Chain A
Amino acid sequence: AAGVIQSPRHLIKEKRETATLKCYPIPRHDTVYWYQQGPGQDPQFLISFYEKMQSDKGSIPDRFSAQQFSDYHSELNMSSLELGDSALYFCASSFISYNEQFFGPGTRLTVL
Chain B
Amino acid sequence: AQSVTQLDSHVSVSEGTPVLLRCNYSSSYSPSLFWYVQHPNKGLQLLLKYTSAATLVKGINGFEAEFKKSETSFHLTKPSAHMSDAAEYFCVVSEEDSNYQLIWGAGTKLIIKP
A residues with CB within 8 A of B? 33, 41-45, 48, 55-56, 58, 90, 92, 94, 96, 99-106
B residues with CB within 8 A of A? 32, 34, 36, 42-46, 49, 51, 90, 94, 96, 99-102, 104-107
Q: Shortest Cβ distance from B60 into chain A, in angstroms?
A: 14
Cβ–Cβ contact B100 & A96, under 8 A: yes
Q: Within 8 Å CB of A43, what residues of B?
A: 44, 90, 102, 104
Cβ–Cβ contact A99 & B100, under 8 A: yes
Cβ–Cβ contact A45 & B43, under 8 A: no
Question: How many Å lie between the Cα of A43 and that of B32 in the bound state?
Answer: 18
Q: Within 8 Å CB of A102, what residues of B?
A: 46
Q: Shortest Cβ distance from B65 into chain A, in angstroms?
A: 15
Cβ–Cβ contact A42 & B44, under 8 A: no
Question: How many Å lie between the Cα of A54 and that of B99 in the bound state?
Answer: 12
Question: How many Å lie between the Cα of A102 and that of B43 in the bound state?
Answer: 10
Cβ–Cβ contact B49 & A101, under 8 A: no
Cβ–Cβ contact A45 & B44, under 8 A: no
Q: Within 8 Å CB of B90, what residues of A?
A: 42-43
Query: Closest residue of chain A to B6, judged by CB?
Result: A42
A-B contact pairs, 29 of them (CB 8 A): A41-B106, A42-B90, A42-B106, A42-B107, A43-B44, A43-B90, A43-B102, A43-B104, A44-B104, A45-B102, A48-B99, A48-B101, A55-B99, A56-B101, A90-B44, A92-B44, A94-B100, A99-B32, A99-B51, A99-B94, A100-B49, A101-B100, A101-B102, A102-B46, A103-B45, A103-B46, A105-B42, A105-B43, A106-B44
Cβ–Cβ contact A99 & B104, under 8 A: no
